[in-house]
Amino acid sequence: MSEEKKPDYVVYDEETGTYNAALLPYSSGVSAPKITTPDITSWKQTNINKVNHEIKSQFDQLKAQYDGMVKKYEDNQLVYGAKFSFEPIVGETYHLYKGRKDGLPFLSVISPEECSWDSVGTYRLTSEKLWEEISN
């Protein structure tokens, strides 16, 4: 038995043997409006730019935090590696100088205005026993 071919505008499901035009999520008639997809290129581009800006901003913040941690680490290595023969007091200000003979740094309570030594920086010991540089 041969089945006759249905016209293109008739929606017939050959697997189930039913007409399913009413079940489709879109119109199937020849007089139905044209199906067009919206152009979302500008929407995508705008949101890509926003997301990229947000990610770059977060990256810059993380990089600044990282750079601050590296600076803190280097400062502490420098001061703790310096020569000093006293126990520093938390909260007090100390001055780091470059040694004249051996070039090794040393820590002192004498400020750069009171001496002629080559100053490396001014530091304060925090309660966490970390050295923080004080800008002059």
Q: pTM value?
A: 0.62
Q: Does 28 have pLDDT greater than 80?
A: no
Q: Does 27 have pLDDT greater than 90?
A: no
Work out the pLDDT band at 5, boundaries 50, 70, 90. confident
Q: Does 39 have pLDDT greater than 60?
A: yes
Burial environment of residue 82 by CB neighbours within 10 A (0 to 12, 13 to 18, 19 or more): buried
Q: Does 9 have pLDDT greater than 70?
A: no
Q: What residue spans define the domains of the chain?
A: 82-136
